[in-house]
Structure 1
């Protein structure tokens, strides 16, 4: 089951990034060009957050079963000297949870706005902050915190 969840997690993470970029593209365009707030914009906003929540559930499952995380919590004192272990044991988890919280709040606020410009503006602000948090939390191949290849082989 761990491998299946790991594969799903690897696929869904790219879906989250693509959906978030699409939402931001449409929101920036709608805000700056004063476009009407179409039903598709609302759907894309909603599905972006839904996909992010699916990714969160998969991430929590992996977090609970990961040997790296188990080592981190069993050997907390020693683990803090290894940046990769600290990154996945604490930093990555907290940042990704924060990003999901920011996305959820931004989506809820945008949904409740009556003015189309306010809907776009709220989405732009909150989703951009979430994207920045996610980009910081990703273990890019060039990251000084921890790094992984773009596409992992299992």
Structure 2
């Protein structure tokens, strides 16, 4: 069973990252535009907040599944003293997962803090700061195919 589920989840995780990045970017552009034009916070904006957070959480669940199933992370956990000194294994065993959890926390804090904002301007500002921070953290922690530190393909097949 593991021979089939692991590659499937890995491909889904690889593909879903693009959905997360697109929705997060659309949200940030929308929030920036609305703040600049001093437009009200609408149900569409709330939908974007929820969609962004949910899509990131789906990615996080896929990532947690991979963490449990991956031979790389299993090696990291079982041989920590040695593996922590191996760049690619440490990246997947510790750095990537930690940074993505921090990015998810930023999105959650932004969504929650924006609910209590007293003005539209303040609400958009909070969302721009926290969602922007989450995007920067995620972008810096994705194993891009062009990364000299640890690279993976942009798209994996099923």
Same fold (TM over 0.5): yes
Map of 2:22 onto structure 1 = 18
Cα 1:32–1:20 shift into 2, 3 Å = same
Structure 1 gaps, min length 5: none
Are residue 66 (structure 1) and residue 70 (structure 2) matched? yes
Matched, 1:27 2:31: yes
Aligned to 1:145: 149
Instruction: Calculate the TM-score normalised by the size of structure 2.
Output: 0.92
Residue number in structure 2 paired with 1:7: 11
Map 1:78-89 onto structure 2 (within 5 A).
78-89=82-93
Corresponding position: 1:46 with 2:63: no
- Secondary structure at 1:46 match in 2: helix
The one-character-per-residue Cα deviations of 1:53-92 (angstroms, maximum 9, x if unpaired) are: 1111111011011000001111112212320001001000
Q: Which runs of 4+ in 1 moved over 3 A?
A: none
TM-score between the two structures when normalised by the length of structure 1: 0.94
Distance 2:152 2:11 in 1: 15
Indicate the RMSD between aligned Cα atoms, in angstroms. Answer: 1.3
* Higher RCO structure (Cα 8 Å, ≥6 apart): 2
- Name stretches of at least 5 consecutive residues in structure 2 with no aligned partner: none
- The Cα offsets for residues 74-132 of structure 1, whole Å up to 9 and x where unpaired, read as 11122123200010010001000000011011011112223111111110000000000
